[in-house]
Amino acid sequence: MVTVIIGFTGQGKSTLAYKVAQRSDTRVIIDPRNQFNSTSDIVSGPSGLYELLDTRYEVIVKPGRGFDVTETFDQVSGVIAEWIEDNPTEKISIIADESRLLGLDSKTVSLNFDWIVRSAREGSPINVIITCHRPVDVNTNIRAIANRLVFFRVMLPNDLDSIESQCGPEVTVQVNKLLDRQFVVWNNSRQQWRKEIDPSGWYIRIAEVPTVGYVEHIPE
C-alpha cells in the first residue's frame, strides 16, 4: 500500500507515518531532517543496510553532512528494492519523510523508489508512507497511484485546488475546516473519504515514539 500524508509542520505527519509503519515487522525510515530516534540502528547511506534489514526490526537512514540526499535516497532505495526481491513475502514499511528533500517533487523520481512504489499494490507486503507539506511536494504520478491520501489542514488556494481535482469538492471543504491534528483520509482505490478528529489515539511527540509496543488502532 502507498500512503501520502500531507500537511503543515507540527500537525503530526511523521508520528502518523510511524504508526502506520508499525503494521510491518521490518521498517526503514529515511529521515533527512533527523526527526526520528526510535532505534539505535542508524546508517547514513546504503552501506550495511541490507544486512540490518535481515536482522533488525527497524533501521533509520540519516544522510550525513556533505551527502547528496537525493543520490543517497536512490542508492538506499536500490538496496531496499533488492531486499524486497530477495524476501518477497516479508512485510516491510518504508517511510520517506519530507518528500521534497528526497526529490520526490521532481518529474525524474528515483527509479529505484519508483519500482518500490509500483510494487506496493494494495494487499502486498510492501507499505510505503510518504510525508510532505503540500501536494506539489510529491510527484503527480505518485499521488495518482497512492492508495490513501491523508490531509491535515491545508489552506493555500493552489493546494486546495489540487486536492479538489483529485478528491472532489466535498473533501476539499472538509480539509479546509480541519483543526490542529485532525485529518481526512481519502481512499483513492474506493473513491471514499472519512475524517479523524480525535488525536488522542495516535498523537505523541515524534521524539518520544518508542521502538516497541506502539501498536494501537491504526486508521485504514
- Summarised one tens digit per residue, pLDDT across range 8-24 is 888 999 999 999 999 99
- Percentage of residues of the chain with pLDDT beyond 90: 80
Q: pTM of the entire structure?
A: 0.92
Domain boundaries, the chain: 21-133, 144-191
C-alpha span between 212 and 126 (Å, rounded): 20
Which amino acid belongs to residue 68?
D
Pairing of β 183-187 and β 192-196: antiparallel
Query: What is the average pLDDT across 118-137?
Result: 95
Which of the four CATH numbers 3.40.640.10, 2.60.120.10, 3.40.50.300, 3.40.50.11740 does domain 21-133 have?
3.40.50.300
The more confidently predicted of residues 37 and 5 is 5
Which amino acid belongs to residue 58?
E
User: Which range, 107-111, 129-133, 155-159, 203-207, has the best average confidence (pLDDT)?
Assistant: 129-133
Answer whether residue 65 shows pLDDT above 90: no
Phi, psi of 200 (to 5 degrees): -65, -25
Residue 211 is predicted with a pLDDT of 57
- Summarised one tens digit per residue, pLDDT across range 29-51 is 999 999 999 999 999 999 999 99
